[in-house]
């Protein structure tokens, strides 16, 4: 059974696509120094660090949010059977992962999903938007509205800068975004858009020009789904470390700082897109810095 976390009328579950060693930290973070593993032992624990290969643990998953009326998926991983034979995307090429079975274990069938929210339109966030059916890429969740950030959608459309910066993403847009638009299932959200009561999308640009985060607030407790503003918990300790995939360097750092301040000051639980086990947690202020407290087993239901 997937892990589930309860926020008043919202439940949050992780739907795994894969959990593997990912990038070498020096590749992912150009400013990386290994000292951080000595000064913050949490980061070299097996949840976040794969000692045998010296690589960072990397999770691909969706966050499933359920209310009485809604079944919502935030980000949709890499998808099965997609042609990603480029060196940068090797890990995502022609996958055959039991993602929909994981979703079924949580009691959800594709037709139950009412909303899909893509924080941004990178290869590892839109994959299960579609699946190969009857000779075409078709929406996996036929009854869902798919929500893209207004600015992010333009960024990857003709005339936007996205494909000039990252031409590798062209096939991704073609097989995982365009079929949604052609099926008339997409909607565009602006900064601050209320998706359903208690759930809003806000600008968190920097990683991509139009990345958005999802903020959950049940009136008492808050949670944040920040997409790739943070790839790894070490960025909580070193918020100026951008990943090599961040498009706007200064804005990415400013957004990350704003996110961490919000999590620490509001007590918002952080549910990033790629953290290793246990995949989410709390951010605390520590003097002028921040620290991370992973979710504990007893916090899960
Ligand atoms: Zn990502």
pLDDT of 300: 63
Q: Each residue of 36-94: pLDDT tens digit?
A: 999 999 999 999 999 999 999 999 999 999 999 999 999 999 999 999 988 888 889 99
> pLDDT tens digits, residue range 124-144?
999 999 999 999 999 999 999
Rounded distance from Cα 226 to ligand 1 centre (Å) = 10
Per the structure, how many domains does the chain have? 1
| Range name among 11-25, 84-98, 195-209, 254-268 with the lowest pLDDT average | 84-98
What does the alpha-carbon distance between residue 52 and residue 173 come to, in Å, rounded to a whole number? 35
pLDDT (average), residues 276-296: 96
CA of 273 to the centre of ligand 1 (A): 6
Distance 227 CA to ligand 1 centre (A): 7
User: 60 alpha carbon to ligand 1 midpoint, in Å?
Assistant: 8
Q: Strand 194-196 relative to strand 212-217: parallel, antiparallel, unpaired?
A: unpaired
Task: For the full predicted model, state whether its pTM sits above 0.85.
Answer: yes
- Cβ atoms of 261 and 219 within 8 Å: the answer is no
CB count in 10 Å sphere of residue 193: 16
Q: In the numeric block, which tokens belong to residue 160? A: 């936007």
88 C-alpha to ligand 1 centroid (Å): 13
The CA distance from 279 to 18, in Å, is: 12
Residue 301 has pLDDT above 70, yes or no: no
Q: What is the pLDDT of residues 100-124, one digit of tens each?
A: 999 999 999 999 999 999 999 999 9
Query: How far away, in angstroms, is 228 Cα from ligand 1 center?
Result: 5
Strand partners, 16: 61
Q: How confident is the model at residue 1 (pLDDT cuts 50, 70, 90)?
A: low
Nearest-angstrom CA–CA distance, 162 and 101: 33
For residue 45, the enclosing domain spans 4-299
* Phi, psi (deg, nearest 5) at residue 185: -100, 0
Q: How far is the CA of 122 from the centre of ligand 1 (A)?
A: 7
Report the C-alpha gap between 117 and 128 in whole angstroms. 12
Tokens of 259: 């996110």
Express each pLDDT in 225-246 by its tens digit.
999 999 999 999 999 999 999 9
**pLDDT tens across 133-174, in order?**
999 999 999 999 999 999 999 999 988 999 999 999 999 999
Query: Where residue 31 sits, what CATH number does that domain have?
Result: 3.60.15.10
At residue 216, φ and ψ (nearest 5 deg) are -110, 135
Please give the Cα distance from 252 to 224 (Å, whole number): 17
| pLDDT over 90 percentage in the chain | 91
Short-list 3, 171, 14, 26, CA closest to 99? 14
């Amino acid at each position: 059974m997937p892990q589930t976390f309860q926020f008043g009328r919202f439940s949050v579950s992780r739907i795994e696509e894969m959990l593997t060693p990912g990038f070498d930290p020096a590749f992912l973070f150009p400013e990386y120094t290994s000292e951080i593993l000595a000064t913050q032992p949490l980061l070299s624990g097996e949840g976040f660090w794969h000692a045998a290969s010296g690589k960072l643990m990397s999770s691909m998953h969706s966050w499933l949010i359920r209310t009485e009326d809604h079944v919502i998926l935030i980000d949709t991983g890499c998808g099965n059977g997609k042609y990603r034979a480029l060196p940068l995307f090797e890990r995502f090429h022609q996958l055959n992962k039991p993602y929909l079975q994981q979703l079924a274990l949580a009691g959800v069938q594709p037709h139950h999903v009412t909303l899909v929210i893509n924080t941004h339109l990178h290869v590892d966030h839109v994959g299960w938007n579609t699946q190969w059916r009857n000779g075409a890429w078709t929406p996996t969740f036929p009854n869902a509205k798919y929500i893209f950030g207004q600015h992010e959608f333009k960024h990857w459309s003709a005339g936007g800068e996205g494909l000039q910066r990252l031409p590798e993403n062209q096939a991704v847009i073609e097989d995982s975004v365009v079929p949604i638009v052609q099926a008339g299932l997409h909607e565009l959200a602006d900064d601050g858009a209320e998706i359903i009561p208690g759930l809003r999308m806000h600008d968190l640009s920097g990683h991509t020009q139009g990345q958005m985060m999802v903020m959950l607030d049940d009136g008492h407790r808050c949670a944040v789904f920040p997409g790739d503003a943070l790839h790894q918990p070490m960025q909580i300790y070193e918020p100026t470390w951008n990943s090599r995939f961040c498009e706007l360097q200064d804005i990415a750092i400013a957004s990350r700082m704003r996110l961490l301040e919000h999590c620490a000051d509001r007590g918002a639980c952080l549910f990033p897109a790629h953290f290793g086990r246990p995949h989410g947690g709390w951010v605390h202020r520590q003097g002028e810095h921040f620290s991370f407290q992973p979710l504990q087993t007893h916090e899960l239901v």
